Structure 1
Amino acid sequence: MNPAVSVLLRVTSAHVAYGKVEAVRAVSIEVARDEIVTIIGANGAGKTTLLNAIMGILPLRGRVTFAGQDLARLEIEDRVAAGLSLVPEHRELFGSMNVEDNLQLGAFRVARAVAAYSIERVYALFPRLKERRKQLAGTLSGGEQQMLAMGRALMGAPKLLMLDEPSLGLAPIIVADIFRIISELRASGVSVLLVEQNAQAALQVADRAYVMELGEFILDGAAKDIASNQRVAASYLGLSHEGASAV
């Protein structure tokens, strides 16, 4: 990364373990302001574990700073208040509550005026949520539930949104909508750290990328360079790149 670029999130030499099993080893990553960074890799590579550790859900050995602040002693709620937010893979919505009430839960740490602005912003990004604002979250389609999970996270006015497999199980037309919105978030000043198995879509929208295998980053760089890498193309893009560079 260009040293002149303002770093928002910096993770240095992160180790995360489940008991004696080390799931993430010596991982370092940076996300700049107004940047989309993606982590691609197979199931079990450690991607979700890393996001959960950054959020404070799992203990992390190493150093994590956000907007220059050391997160070591901050609880999850304090990390959210600082501007860090995670949309988990399983969305974790309240199915018996309606759309608007789910959204309002995402604004519990912000001022009423900010919440009012945020909900209009979310409805502008996701018009379908506005149409269904009184519908129970549990009755929404999978794509609508993903939009609601992202919208709820945005209600807290985050500086960095971490997304864990946002396209999982969704129809291609909905996936295209989700990735279009991710691009719009960057344009509106929200940085994104994206974990995604749909490597092709992730690399198209991202500025930079990290490739994770067995708890370690094996490759990182500009997303366009990662996409043209021979090993990445064969392993994660389902194709063989003629003239692609080797690792």
Structure 2
Amino acid sequence: MSEQAPSPTLTAVADAPLLAVHDLSVAYGKIEALTQASLTVQAGEIVTVIGPNGAGKSTLLAALMGVLPTRQGQIQFQGEALGDSGVNARVARGLALVPETRALFASMSVEDNLRLGAFRFRRDASSLHQQALQEVFALFPRLQERRSQLAATLSGGERQMLALGRALMGRPRLLMLDEPSLGLAPLIVRDIFRIIEQLRRQGVSILLVEQNARAALKVADRAYVLELGRVVMQGPAAELADDPRIVETYLGLHSQHQDKLAA
């Protein structure tokens, strides 16, 4: 493995999507949670997946990360099939997932949590870790202020920043976010989505699963709607945001109220 941090915009096959998912199915026992789902993410894009609770959104991300086995279908990353490769192998290839639970080490400091995110560059821990750490601190100054604090002592918004920062320490080519706004105050949600937009400007490709459909469609380039484990709609995010069915189902008065609070 090269010890140089890879550029997030590089792809292995010219003109191939960064991520291509074909007819992916995932089951929990006899219950199929995801049925023949297909989607793509191009380099430099934000792609969002929206849908109701239980639609299979988190299942999709877990399968892409190798946490869950798939029943059928293919996942290609940078033009190459991931096959049965495990989580560590996918991290080494440039995928990163920030789960809904954030999965922080509560008894460790902020800085130690961050350094764990750079394990794929462990052969050159001194230079690459320090460079990545400074980049994360530049993006999240609050984490630098709290670098010695235990993760357990952070607020909800700070924990989400730490989870994002830890994922970014590995210099991912594709950052997958599972409900990054969950449980956060409106002002913090606004900050999180601003950071997501900033990451895209810096060349990080993002696959965003989010129940706050209005905010997700506002920042995304393209969107997929997942219902009962199936992709039922897809297209440019701006077009879906104006689609009457999406407006009625996902962008109702409650969502509008939340959006005003976050503005």
Q: TM-score range by the shorter chain?
A: over 0.9
Residue in structure 1 matched with residue 261 of structure 2 by the alignment = none
Runs of 4+ in 1 over 6 A off after TM superposition: none
Write the letter of the residue equivalent to 1:79. R
Write the letter of the residue equivalent to 1:38. T
Unaligned runs of 5+ in 2: 1-13, 255-263
Identity %: 61
Judge conservation of contact 1:12–1:64 (CA < 8 Å) in 2.
Answer: yes
Q: Does 1:186 align with 2:200?
A: yes
Alignment RMSD = 1.3
Q: Distance in 2 between matches of 1:209 and 1:239?
A: 21
Normalised TM-score (structure 1): 0.94
Q: Does 1:51 align with 2:65?
A: no
Q: Distance in 2 between matches of 1:76 and 1:39?
A: 21
Judge conservation of contact 2:16–2:79 (CA < 8 Å) in 1.
Answer: no
Unaligned runs of 5+ in 1: 241-247
1:68 Cα deviation after fit: 1.4
- 1:137-191 superposed Cα distances (whole Å, 9 cap, x missing partner): 0010000000000000000000000000000010111001100010111111110
Residue in structure 2 matched with residue 87 of structure 1 by the alignment = 98
Q: Larger % of helix: which? A: 2
Judge conservation of contact 2:45–2:200 (CA < 8 Å) in 1.
Answer: yes
- 1:102-147 superposed Cα distances (whole Å, 9 cap, x missing partner): 0000011113222221111111111100000001000100000000
Q: Give the aligned length.
A: 237
- 1:60-100 superposed Cα distances (whole Å, 9 cap, x missing partner): 12100111121113110010010000000000100110100
Residue in structure 2 matched with residue 245 of structure 1 by the alignment = none
Q: 1:121 aligns with which of 115, 121, 135?
A: 135
Normalised TM-score (structure 2): 0.88
Write the letter of the residue equivalent to 1:231. R
Judge conservation of contact 1:17–1:23 (CA < 8 Å) in 2.
Answer: yes
Q: 1:9 aligns with which of 19, 24, 38?
A: 19
Q: Distance in 1 between matches of 2:15 and 2:222?
A: 13
Q: 1:33 aligns with which of 30, 34, 43?
A: 43
Residue in structure 1 matched with residue 87 of structure 2 by the alignment = 76
Q: 1:234 aligns with which of 231, 242, 248?
A: 248
